[in-house]
Amino acid sequence: MWVATVLQQGQPLCPLQAILTAPPKTKYFSFSRTKAFHSLNSPFRLRKLDVPAAKKQLPPSQSSNRDEENVPFQEKGGEGLDLGWLPAFPHVFIASLSNLLFGYHIGVMNGPIVSIARELGFEGNSIIEGLVVSIFIAGAFIGSLATGSLVDKLGCRRTFQIDMIPLILGPILSANAQSLDEILGGRFLVGLGIGVNTVLIPIYISEVAPTKYRGALGSLCQIGTCLGIIASLFLGIPSENDPHWWRTMFYFASVPGFIIALGMQFAVDSPRWLCKAGRVDDAKTVVRNLWGASEVEKTIEEFQSVSRNDGSDLDNRWSEILEEPNSRVALIGGALFLLQQFAGINGVLYFSSLTFQDVGVQSSALASLFVGLTNFAGALCALYLIDREGRQKLLIGSYLGMAISMFVVVSAVSFPLDEQLSNNLSILGTIMYIFSFAIGAGPVTGVIIPELSSTRTRGKIMAFSLSTHWVCNFLVGLFFLKLVEKFGVAPVYASFGAVSVLAALFANNFLVETKGRSLEEIERSLYPKTGTD
């Protein structure tokens, strides 16, 4: 979310832009569908899009519409008032609350696991403690894979409501657990729901947000995750003195599920999905209410044009992501999450508590809170920058910052000139790394994949990409400590830095910029068969 889980004291903890404002006046471009992909040296490389000025190729009526889109908060031909991001915000906000749940459930085990283990009879058994934590990831993997089919059949709104069932029952079962099996069942249900959410939220926001604000609104996912982690850390403070407080924390976790399920009853469904389902009048109503009356005819025509040419319907198959060009986008999505995880965010945040202890911060809760606040600050910056600077530039800069940060820590550990200086450099490198991740690699990955996906296969491509995320997440968490014990901190951190450089090169060579372009414009440029009617 958009999503990386970290291990804090052996438990998963998720890292995670200041004001939603319009980006500078955007020039619109037309895309050459014949140059959508690189064909040399790579089976899945995206080609930079041709970007001659749109006004040279668009009919006067369409050029006029483009100009109108660049004038927010003004009346357009007497057809209505463009209120920018405001009409879509309540719907996006309700969806983003699911990310607050995500952050909360990842942080909720950080402190109380000791009390849970003692009360349920597995204290001191590190394998069982690890199982209680990792069963969450197993559930998330299954939930991610299931989401593609659910969202295609039912739409985002109903899928959200169904998804709240495990996210309500799971915490209640955990809160009332009297045995290991019950706590494992509760954590698995929670993971199942979170796995659905991590796929569903980016899809929903990308399809209901206005084009100019799609990146910023999509970055609210990261804000929600950060706030969820911080909330779980604050609520976890009493657990240090009350061995039964963990049950209350799980009860708290069920409350947002009820709010989201009720809120989604009043939220809109994706207008693109409504068109796929043949509910064109409902789609027109949603577009009119969210994007303005002047956008209705042009937008619905774009939806229908894409649907006619790619055969969008509610019965697409998983095998379709193996066909060109869907397979290229799916591979890029999986590679982005693989690189995100193997760039070491889990390991760095796990080891950050020990780094803070070296400079006198003995409270793991305080260290975790400091890390959470750094994530939050980075997420706020991403909210501001993502629609101004663009996805690709932010992602490249983020990974380069992560690489530099890792090399700073490696230098401090390998060539300590002074103990205090070495500790300070380690702290600086860790903070730089977390901030760099939160400003780009975290939020942008979840935003750009649904933008590159076609309407027909968006759900399944996101499901595949997020399932890759959970597998890599599990592997890094499983092997990080063993690698540190065998090779030491410096070589492991140096490898994280190397992967970060590789990720920056990947983003530079295999991604295209999507800011300021509607999903239909992007799809026509990257999917040849939707390029013409």
Residues in the chain, total: 533
List the chain residues with pLDDT less than 70: 1-83, 111, 308-315, 353-354, 357-365, 528-533
Q: Rounded to whole angstroms, how far apart are CA atoms 73 and 80?
A: 10
Q: Rounded to whole angstroms, how far apart are CA atoms 493 and 408?
A: 10
C-alpha 228 chain-centroid distance = 14
With 0.85 as the threshold, say if the pTM is over it: no
Distances 224 to 104, 218, 354, 373 between C-alpha atoms, Å: 9, 11, 26, 13
Pick from 321, 334, 327: nearest CA to 445: 334
Q: Rounded to whole angstroms, how far apart are CA atoms 138 and 135?
A: 5
Joined together, the tokens standing for residue 8 give: 């804090």
Q: Report pLDDT for 26.
A: 37
Q: What are phi and psi of 53, to 5 degrees?
A: -60, 135
Q: Report pLDDT for 312.
A: 54
Q: Rounded to whole angstroms, how far apart are CA atoms 490 and 513?
A: 35
Q: Do 503 and 31 contact (CB within 8 A), yes or no?
A: no
Q: Rounded to whole angstroms, how far apart are CA atoms 523 and 453?
A: 7
Q: Report pLDDT for 49.
A: 42
Q: Do 96 and 197 contact (CB within 8 A), yes or no?
A: no
pLDDT in tens, 130-185: 788 788 999 999 999 999 889 988 999 999 999 999 999 999 999 999 999 999 99
